[in-house]
Amino acid sequence: MDYVSTRGAGPVGLEEALLRGLAPDGGLFMPATLPQFATDTFADCDNIVDIGVRFLEPFTVGSGLEEALDDICSDAFSFPIVLRALPPAEAHLSVLELFHGPTAAFKDVGARFLAACMARLGDSEADARPLTILVATSGDTGGAVAAAFHGRPGFRVVVMYPEGQVSPRQAHQLACWGGNVLTLAVDGPFDACQRLVKQAFSHPEMARQHRLCSANSINIGRLLPQAVYYAAASLWHQRQHGRPASFIIPTGNLGNAQACVMARECGLPIEHIVLATNANRTIVDYLASGEYAARPSVQTLASAMDVGDPSNMERLRHLFPAIETLRGKVTAVSVSDEEIREQIRLDATRRGELWCPHTATAARVHDQFDAALAECAWVLVATAHPAKFHEIVEPLVGTPVPVPPALAELLERPTLEHRMPADLDALARQLAGA
């Protein structure tokens, strides 16, 4: 399988696409062609590891990872991915729980897959310097990447997050590692962190000196395993209910949604894809107007979605260059903070469900559908455990949110981080001193 840049460079193999992260022309890597699957291709695959191996085989053909794919998928999908129906059954509504990993967020899947791949691509004998995994995070990515690479020989992780713009427990998860993980609290929004990552990769001397690699969703190695859980969920849903699933996906940087789109374009039984956004309306307004306009991010309760210039919009537009075509592939709805609060309160009572603010955006979008859309079989994508946002959720529902054991263990650790202005020279100094 060859990989090409959304801006025309390439082709390259999977190993180079993973290790580069960003294409040399500044674009994002995509498979040169998307394989096509029939549903019965997976007839003998029940668990997500088997489905992942079958789905990812064409993407790894000809690479050094082809022989290790079984072990890589076993590493990446080592915790439950849960699809369960919500009562009442006649409502045709399910939830896909992606928060049962070590940092209680969906990012654990992609981060662990990427770490497992990169560990098998190491060339420590050729170059004694570690690979530097440079990450900008709006809340969950940094913790997941830190967990996946922490203590792995041959790697160091540098996590940048917008200071004061993530939840306290998210901030703790970003800074509780030490060792080969450096955490930088940046004076600026997530977009500034993301911009610094792209500037660093585009700076030849900095990229060479520190052997920079990306673990954000700009890296195709994050999207491929995320496409697996949409493939698996759609297959499970069709087997259980006899009809294709439609997904409502909370989204900020569009990586999770892009993965779902890729799974559907590969032939998996997925009907509609709806993107639930917060007050950051870049995606919603683009689909409405046809004119893409990046803008400064707005701080909201759903902080991991506070993105004003989603990187993966470039991949989505690469797949569907015509806006009319794109409108036929996805829709997007914006949800306000007050609607998030109301949804968390409502569903704690009527559904007995505790949502994180991000998952609440998906539930809110569902409940606003007209009668025709409501008859589809919908899956809410639950991207994070509500305990990560207890300071928001608990006052709304009037009860403590149970903390999963893995998260509780992380919260007991001491933290260490460094403050930094949103400046490339400041990042260079941190990289040199780390």
* Predicted local distance difference test score (pLDDT) of residue 124: 45
Q: What are phi and psi of 259, to 5 degrees?
A: -65, -40
Angle at 186 between CA 114 and CA 189, to 5 degrees: 90
* Predicted local distance difference test score (pLDDT) of residue 433: 85
Quick: pLDDT tens for 329-372.
Answer: 999 999 999 999 999 999 999 999 999 999 999 999 999 999 88
Whole-angstrom distance, CA of residue 90 vs CA of residue 429: 58
Sorting pLDDT into bands at 50, 70 and 90, what band is 3? very high
Give the CATH number of domain 76-106+221-404.
3.40.50.1100
Lowest mean pLDDT among 42-51, 136-145, 309-318, 344-353: 136-145
Residue 319 or residue 191, greater confidence: 319
pLDDT above 80: residue 78: yes
Mean pLDDT calculated for residue range 281-287: 97
The total number of residues written for the chain in this structure: 434
* Predicted local distance difference test score (pLDDT) of residue 138: 81
Quick: pLDDT tens for 184-227.
Answer: 999 999 889 989 998 998 898 998 899 998 888 889 999 999 99
pTM for this prediction: 0.92
Mean pLDDT calculated for residue range 174-182: 95
Sorting pLDDT into bands at 50, 70 and 90, what band is 122? low
pLDDT above 90: residue 20: no
* Predicted local distance difference test score (pLDDT) of residue 385: 96
Whole-angstrom distance, CA of residue 395 vs CA of residue 391: 7
| Boundaries of every domain in the chain | 76-106+221-404
* Predicted local distance difference test score (pLDDT) of residue 125: 45
Kindly give, in sequence order, each residue whose CB lies less than 8 Å from that of residue 321, ignoring residues fewer than 6 positions away: none
Sorting pLDDT into bands at 50, 70 and 90, what band is 231? very high
Mean pLDDT calculated for residue range 309-314: 95
Mean pLDDT calculated for residue range 265-288: 98
For 110-167, strand residue ranges (E) read 131-136, 155-162
